[in-house]
Amino acid sequence: MRRIGRIIVAILAAIGLTVLLLTGGGIWAAIAFKDSTEPRLPKDMILSLDLEAKFRETPSGDPFAALAGERAYVMRQVIAAIDHAATDPKVKGLFATLGSGQLSLASAQEIRDAIVRFRSSGKPSVAFAETLGEGSNGTVDYFLASGFSQVWVQPSGEVGLVGFAAESPFLKGTLDLLGIQPQLAGRKEYKSAIETFTETGYSQPHRQSLEAILDAWSGQVIAGIAQGRRLGQDKVSALFGKGPFLAAEALSAGLVDHLGYRDQALAAAGATGKKGEEVDMAAYAAHLPKGSGPRIAIITGSGAISRGGDDSPFADDDGFGAGVIAAAFRDAVDDPAVKAIVFRIDSPGGSYVASDTIWHEVGRARAAGKPVVASMAGVAASGGYFVAMGADRVVAQPGTITGSIGVFSGKMVLADFWPKLGVSWDGVKRGDNADMMSANHKFSPQAWERLNRSLDAIYADFTGKAAKGRNLAPDRMEELAKGRIWAGSDAQARGLVDALGGWDVAQAQVRELLKLAPDADLDLVAYPKPKAPWQKLAKMMGGGGGLAEDEGMRALLRLARVLAPVAAQLENGGTLRLPAGAVP
């Protein structure tokens, strides 16, 4: 009996070790994350910014992202850091590396505007690139670099000022070969997503909208380069699209200031006479003082709009689940300290129902007396525009893709595809339209009518709410809708957007709505409060609110409670008696 007891004791020890590893290890890692405070900043510093890194709207939702080597910045924090650095006497200059980034034009405009504001302080701002677009398009990267006071390129590099192009695949021929028939309907002719499956090339409306976007982007880039490089706009127009230029050619054309290497460019960033220590922008941003003015809730949605939300420890804080966003709005409305809301949007659209849920919460916030400013990032189209259009003010970058006021739906019919694989289907149903979305047959006339009636209702709701929110006549809104995308600059000219700019303009709109001084301080607070990596790790390892929330841990503890008295009895030579109710 004692031998059995020792075996049970060993099992208990194993259970204890498992619990210790899961909880203690998680707690240790959590504490390590939590207590890893940023080092103190030096007295003299040069801020460095890696523009080839990833830029996010909120911190990463993955607690292991940093350990895996992911390098990412939070856009709002970077903009705030650059603006603060302009007047910080400890900051002697700004140094950035770039060359093959993945920034959208709108994101590049956001950062570039902040760089230009920093540049006006008189401090050196230096952009360095080994090359701008080696084997790829370097137009956006060079546009961003042109905002700095100095542009350096490695002698072996190039300046890929090649312009903009759009091309799209069309799958109709492939689907025909496979026997797959798309049955799709859209509202209206500019809602071109379905053309990928139904056409072999761009329709005239699709081509028209894309060409307008490229025209707008090209004009913005040419004007920005001319301003930043102090070149005539005609000269920049002549150079635009003619690259890539060899480094020496770019120097001769006035596109860059110096040919050299990173160490030489970095030294130039400290040209104020004092040699500053290089400090990464993220580390500097972590030391920014907290705002002392009225509290402004920052609510961020990024990605496809969906119903519900994801509460897992690996979920991104900037997802676009309607449940999460709606709850954030309700929390901000219920918080008496919150005086206004900035709603940051980066989304190509998604669920109509989810978009409508969020639109309603925007209206509730306004009705509660809390102004809402929608700030568009790279894209806020279709559902992304739906959730923005009810705000008091809508702000977009000139290069933002927005609009797309329309809807589409349908299915792929595989009836002629399955026989090619030797697959057959059968089924039963109750209700004429019970299987209307089945891929195994076409829509019946009745089902097709119901689908189109739904699309008509959604389109009417979308355009009606947009017209009311933007204070436009229904006929005028119909001209602007039809599923057409617009560059932010064109949207602003047509009344779909109020102002052009980024975080700085959104905050200026908040001050105006609250009747504050133009330079009034604001206390920007994220809703919901982002979880730090150590909190997410603790939740993953230990169940967030304690061990009792974790099923696996709870089962181990129940088993330990059962075996402990058994082991004690056997060790003492007693008779085996299971306590009542002890079976897990």
DSSP 526-547: ESSPPPPHHHHHHHHHH-SS-G
Contact criterion met (CB below 8 Å) for 143 and 108 = yes
498 DSSP assignment = S
Beta strands in 39-143, from DSSP E residues, in sequence order: 45-50, 54-56, 72-74, 91-97, 125-129
d(CA 372, CA 362) in angstroms, rounded, equals 7
Residue 2 confidence class, pLDDT cut points 50, 70, 90: low
For the segment 150-177, the average pLDDT, to the nearest whole number, is 96
Q: What angle do CA 213, 348, 64 make, to 5 degrees?
A: 120
Q: Which residues contact 363 (CB under 8 A, 6 or more apart)?
A: 390
Q: Which of 146, 209, 382, 404 is catalytic?
A: 382
418-475 pLDDT, tens digit per residue, is: 999 999 999 999 999 999 999 999 999 999 999 999 999 999 999 999 999 999 999 9
Whether 525 shows a pLDDT value over 50: the answer reads yes
Token pair of 267 as six digits? 């030294």
Beta strands in 78-153, from DSSP E residues, in sequence order: 91-97, 125-129, 150-153
Query: What b-and-e string marks burial along 292-322, b requiring 16 or more CB atoms within 10 Å of the CB?
Result: eebbbbbbbbbbbbbeebeeebebbbbbbbb
Residues of the chain with pLDDT > 70: what percent? 80
Please state the three-class secondary structure of 111-128 as a single string.
Answer: HHHHHHHHHCCCCCEEEE
CA atoms within 13 A on the CB side of 6: 3
d(CA 527, CA 382) in angstroms, rounded, equals 24
Whether 545 shows a pLDDT value over 50: the answer reads no
Q: Residue 485 belongs to what H/E stretch?
A: strand 485-487
558-581 pLDDT, tens digit per residue, is: 555 555 555 555 455 444 444 333
d(CA 407, CA 185) in angstroms, rounded, equals 9
pLDDT at 453: 97
d(CA 525, CA 261) in angstroms, rounded, equals 40
321-375 pLDDT, tens digit per residue, is: 999 999 999 999 999 999 999 999 999 999 999 999 999 999 999 999 999 999 9
Q: How many residues does the chain have?
A: 584
Contact criterion met (CB below 8 Å) for 407 and 376 = no
Checking DSSP bridges between strand 158-159 and strand 181-187, what pairing results, if any?
unpaired
The yes-or-no answer on residue 107 being catalytic is no
Token pair of 107 as six digits? 């994101």
What's this model's pTM, rounded to 2 decimal places?
A: 0.84
The torsion of the CA quartet 478, 482, 488, 489, rounded to 10 degrees, works out to: -60
pLDDT at 348: 96
pLDDT at 9: 54
Q: Which of 92, 123, 191, 531 is catalytic?
A: 191
Token pair of 91 as six digits? 């900051």
Residue 314 confidence class, pLDDT cut points 50, 70, 90: low
Query: How many Å is the Cα radius of gyration of the chain?
Result: 29
218-276 pLDDT, tens digit per residue, is: 999 999 999 999 999 999 999 999 999 999 999 999 999 999 999 999 988 875 455 67
Whether 4 shows a pLDDT value over 80: the answer reads no
d(CA 350, CA 404) in angstroms, rounded, equals 12
Contact criterion met (CB below 8 Å) for 25 and 541 = yes
3-class DSSP state for residue 265?
helix
88-143 pLDDT, tens digit per residue, is: 999 999 999 998 878 999 999 999 999 999 999 999 999 999 999 888 899 999 99
Q: 93 - beta bridge partners?
A: 46
Whether 159 shows a pLDDT value over 60: the answer reads yes
476-503 pLDDT, tens digit per residue, is: 999 999 999 999 999 999 999 999 999 9
The yes-or-no answer on residue 382 being catalytic is yes
For the segment 191-208, the average pLDDT, to the nearest whole number, is 96
d(CA 137, CA 214) in angstroms, rounded, equals 14
Contact criterion met (CB below 8 Å) for 231 and 214 = no
Contact criterion met (CB below 8 Å) for 64 and 541 = no
Whether 57 shows a pLDDT value over 80: the answer reads yes
Closest-CA residue to 288 (of 80, 59, 87): 80
